[in-house]
Amino acid sequence: MAVLEERTAELILAYVAGKWDAVLGMASVLEESLKPVATEPRMEICLYHVESIQLRVALKREDIDLVRVVARKSNNLEVSRKAFDALQKLEIGPGLANWRGLEYELETVSNAEGQIMRMRNPDPRLIGTKFFPNLYVPDQDA
């Protein structure tokens, strides 16, 4: 599982660097590896990142066909819902403002607290670890 976590981290770094073609290729391969083990909370988080990054690339490229693909194949309910919402909003009023707004909505869902709230199997041991480094867990012994 550590290998899958490392590959997910590489995917995130490639996305941040703007290597979108490479990201889409990496994501499709990584997604197939993560699906069978997504019942494990850490792997569920990785799969969320893989699927949400594909949707983010689609929104950045303003590629409605890729948004449709993500909406149909996503295993994560939150990513799937965001993709279908994006399709509805773009059908009603296509425009640059809509694309940017949809991308912003997806970014706010991707914060660490939001991920824990949306997990099927939240594991409290994840809080305060490298998966959610921004969450502070007070010392229980104090």
Q: Which of 86, 101, 85, 8 is nearest to 53 (CA)?
A: 8
**Domain ranges, residue 116:** 2-122
128 domain-assigned: no
* pLDDT tens for each residue of 94-130: 665 566 777 767 665 555 545 555 555 555 555 445 5
Give me the number of domains the chain comprises. 1
Q: Which of 35, 33, 12, 38 is nearest to 23 (CA)?
A: 12
108 domain-assigned: yes
* pLDDT tens for each residue of 9-31: 888 888 888 898 999 999 999 99
pTM over 0.85: no
